[in-house]
Amino acid sequence: MSHKILIVDDAAFMRMMIKEILTKNGYTVVGEAQDGVQAVEKYKELRPDLVTMDITMPEMDGIHALKEIRGFDPNAKIIMCSAMGQQAMVIDAIQAGAKDFIVKPFQADRVVEAIKKTLS
């Protein structure tokens, strides 16, 4: 059975890129969200095995959404996605319970490696 993944990013083209990498590697994308508020709602509704979460988004940022989701499900597996130069935010995210982070622009092998490591 393939793992169910929720993709969260405010940029549609980024969601599309991640979705393509994941589906090519046998994962099932069960949902997409474009901000932290949607991410929390979709997580509760879909109960994915893993979430890829952008850090910088409107409405609610990724770190706030990470904290909300982990408050609801302490075992949630969330990988943060960030642009270069957001090291302080990445540290905040890891301290808040993120399992890993991937840097934009994405390298397909790094995305798959982070997901395999987090799900194992």
pLDDT in tens, 7-51: 999 999 999 999 999 999 999 999 999 999 999 999 999 999 999
Look up the domain containing 105 and give its range.
Answer: 4-119
Sequence length of the chain is 120
Q: Are 33 and 42 in contact (CB under 8 A)?
A: yes
Q: What is the pLDDT of residue 115?
A: 94
Q: What is the pTM of this model?
A: 0.93
Q: What is the pLDDT of residue 85?
A: 66
CA distance 22 to 44: 21
Q: What is the pLDDT of residue 84?
A: 67
Q: Are 96 and 67 in contact (CB under 8 A)?
A: yes
Q: What is the pLDDT of residue 91?
A: 85
Q: How many domains does the chain have?
A: 1
CA distance 72 to 58: 21
| CATH, residue 41 | 3.40.50.2300
For 90: left if phi > 0, alpha if psi spans -120 to 50, otherwise beta; the answer is alpha
Q: Are 71 and 43 in contact (CB under 8 A)?
A: no
Q: What share of the chain is helix, strand, coil (3-state, %, to 5)?
A: 45, 20, 30
Q: What angle do CA 80, 48, 1 make, to 5 degrees?
A: 115
pLDDT tens, 64-112? 999 999 999 999 999 999 876 667 888 888 899 999 989 888 889 999 9
Q: What is the pLDDT of residue 106?
A: 82
pLDDT tens, 1-12? 589 999 999 999
